[in-house]
Amino acid sequence: MSAAFVAHVSELLAGLGRLQARPMFGGHGLYCDGAFIAIVLEDVLYFKVDAQSRPRFERTGAEPFVYARRGKRASLNYYRAPAEALESPEAAMSWAREALGAALRSRKTIAARPSPPARRARSRATSRTRGKPRTGKA
């Protein structure tokens, strides 16, 4: 992983917001104002995608970020940045805005889901009342 590549990507995306590159799993995670928007691994940039932004990446032939997990191929919601995204600040910003939008939408989805303890508590409460008549008493 070259520090020069991370610096180049950071320079291209400087206008997006407060950008931070944090070391992670042999590469870097790129955060914009706290939102995880990209992965840089082995001098390759992968942007965050979701159902809304994925088709734009797929139309360019971009490949998803894939890794080995317990002997099987696994992928995350990150796609390789198209070549044009590394050639001009304007193109980089367009693709980065897509990634930021996906990251922000993902945050809203995660925030809307109940936490695991809340799901378990609700599940236990439901299983205790299953099959019992409702009395209307609390």
Q: Are 92 and 78 in contact (CB under 8 A)?
A: no
Instruction: Determine the Cα–Cα distance for residues 34 and 118; give it in Å rounded to an integer.
Output: 25
Q: How many CB atoms lie within 10 A of CB 3?
A: 9
Q: Are 36 and 103 in contact (CB under 8 A)?
A: yes
Q: Map out the domains of the chain with their CATH numbers.
A: 3-129 (3.30.1460.30)
Token pair recorded at residue 14: 């400087």
Question: What is the per-residue pLDDT across 10-56, written as a single tens digit (0 to 9) for each?
Answer: 999 999 999 999 998 889 999 999 999 999 999 999 999 999 999 99
Question: What is the per-residue pLDDT across 69-128, written as a single tens digit (0 to 9) for each?
Answer: 888 888 889 999 999 999 989 999 999 999 999 999 987 765 555 656 655 555 555 555
pTM of the model: 0.76
Q: What share of the chain is helix, strand, coil (3-state, %, to 5)?
A: 45, 30, 30
